Structure 1
């Protein structure tokens, strides 16, 4: 099943549980991909028959070991391309996701290796997501979603979800970027020691060190 659609499915299943524990269901997968649930059901059946996911009717979709390795390879491509676009072409962190979605399916393994080497083997992309190495190993540190962090918690920003460009621009204007220090206060948050009012939903797209 060598196709961009297959890779997109596997990458989406992987990303869903990367920063939280709840497994993905076919309905949630359909919503994330913007595809009709009936189409997702048929594709999941094909992925399961190919040994890439495990699934029972009305249950969660989980990657097999083979599916995980393939998903990690696509995640590596996507995140290296995002990093490359930011560092080499001065893209903003709010501009790279859609470009990477296209390029990840077209560049060769040789070019990808060249990009990785030129960038100095980066471990994280511009949004703080870990870049798997060529063997599929991923670096992990304990984390907490900002919305779940208790009052008084102080941590560095590990990751900001990249799906909403407008929200990314708003967070960047506040200084809430990767490696910024955030303290949860009774009235909201401090960012690098300065009180800040977060945009709606911001606390659900930012992860801090635990």
Structure 2
């Protein structure tokens, strides 16, 4: 997922301000360490306003995952990697784009839903499911290009466009974990380079030769 910029509290409805505060604060501190009081302070709203919009902190977590999915869907839909006429080139451009947005502090480029689901998958099924919808939904946006690339290059085997699309997200989410463990964005960018090589090896052909020349 992309790294929306750091935000100062904005004028506007309290619910949206709380959701934006959640995106930044949870990616920085994690879900468990983020308190309702802190979110209210960051969003510049009262605690009463929080509970007017959300029944609980978990309810906020579900809404934050859904808001993340909504905003990142729009972000990726407008990204430049869709421009190429060749399906495989679009897939590789997607990987390059993911690498290009790994900049700044760790909390700025890592994924909200990936962060939350690692913490709550066993304790909050509602948040887990909302995170899953975001992650798998984003993976699904790659399937058409992967399927077209497989058809154009007559690729077949024990894998599908759907499984490869999911694997791209496995690498990306894992790259974020490594970056956090090593406190280095460079580790995440390194993983994107390996993902690019892996996809080229799967498809082979003129595009791979062109990349090496």
Q: TM-score, normalised by structure 1?
A: 0.34
**Structure with higher helix content:** 2
* Higher strand proportion (structure 1 or 2): 1
Name which structure has the greater RCO, CA cutoff 8 Å, separation 6+: 2
Normalised to the residue count of structure 2, the TM-score between the two structures is: 0.33
